[in-house]
């Protein structure tokens, strides 16, 4: 199922996660596992192009709308989501969600636009969505809890899946 929410490209770029700590751009450190160098591998390992049995899509339009609103409320609750503590030294990785299903990502380049939703459901009991942003490929967002989200996407060469956890941050947001 594909559901149009919005889509525009404003650049191309990927954040490749590397092990090790980096300086965070936030004055108030992000909370949750996104502030750690290692990613909890049990959180969001499903491949957005082939989610598998751990991902249960919601097919009822009414239930989809309710889950979309719940997920959007969780995504827009903090000022931004920050993963600067797990990206290579000297780089920042932040997501902001706002408006009518719009996002801004600050990393190696700044990308923004609307989210193109392919599917919404649950991954291991957590709210999850298979979607596209600026990359033009299938990605996944999982709301782990109120202080952590996970972003799963293929690397630039499309040879491996990258999973980055972002911690909720009150800013500053870049």
- Would you say residue 7 lies in a domain? no
pLDDT of the residue at 3: 31
How do beta strands 126-132 and 94-98 pair? unpaired
Tokens of 168: 């909720």
Closest of 88, 128, 124, 94 to residue 111, by C-alpha: 94
From 16-20, 102-106, 158-162, 169-173, the region with the lowest mean pLDDT: 16-20
What confidence tens digit (pLDDT) does each residue in 78-93 have? 999 998 766 656 678 8
CATH code, domain with 143: 2.40.128.640
Quote the domain boundaries for residue 69: 33-169
10 Å Cβ neighbour count for 22?
18
- Would you say residue 17 lies in a domain? no
From 28-37, 47-56, 156-165, the region with the lowest mean pLDDT: 28-37
pLDDT of the residue at 135: 80
From 14-18, 42-46, 119-123, 130-134, the region with the lowest mean pLDDT: 14-18
- Would you say residue 81 lies in a domain? yes
Q: Higher model confidence: residue 31 or residue 130?
A: 130
- Would you say residue 130 lies in a domain? yes
Distance CA 75, CA 83 (A): 14
- Would you say residue 21 lies in a domain? no
pLDDT of the residue at 88: 59
- Would you say residue 3 lies in a domain? no
- Would you say residue 4 lies in a domain? no
- Would you say residue 12 lies in a domain? no
pLDDT of the residue at 71: 97
pLDDT at residue 41 tops 90: no
How many separate domains does the chain show?
A: 1
From 39-43, 76-80, 129-133, 168-172, the region with the lowest mean pLDDT: 39-43
């Amino acid at each position: 199922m594909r559901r149009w929410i919005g889509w525009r490209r404003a650049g191309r770029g990927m954040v490749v996660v590397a092990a090790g700590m980096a300086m965070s751009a936030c004055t108030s450190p992000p909370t949750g596992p996104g502030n750690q160098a290692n990613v909890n591998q049990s959180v969001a390992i499903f491949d957005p192009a082939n989610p598998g049995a751990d991902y249960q899509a919601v097919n009822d339009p009414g239930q989809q709308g309710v889950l979309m609103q719940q997920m959007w409320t969780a995504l827009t609750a903090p000022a931004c989501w920050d993963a600067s503590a797990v990206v290579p030294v000297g780089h920042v990785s932040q997501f902001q969600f706002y408006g009518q299903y719009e996002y801004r990502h600050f990393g190696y380049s700044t990308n923004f636009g609307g989210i193109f939703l392919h599917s919404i459901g649950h991954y291991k009991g957590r709210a999850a969505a298979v979607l596209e942003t600026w990359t033009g490929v299938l990605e996944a967002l999982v709301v782990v809890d109120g202080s952590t989200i996970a972003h799963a996407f293929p690397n630039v060469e499309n040879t491996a899946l990258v999973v980055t956890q972002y911690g909720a941050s009150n800013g500053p947001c870049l």
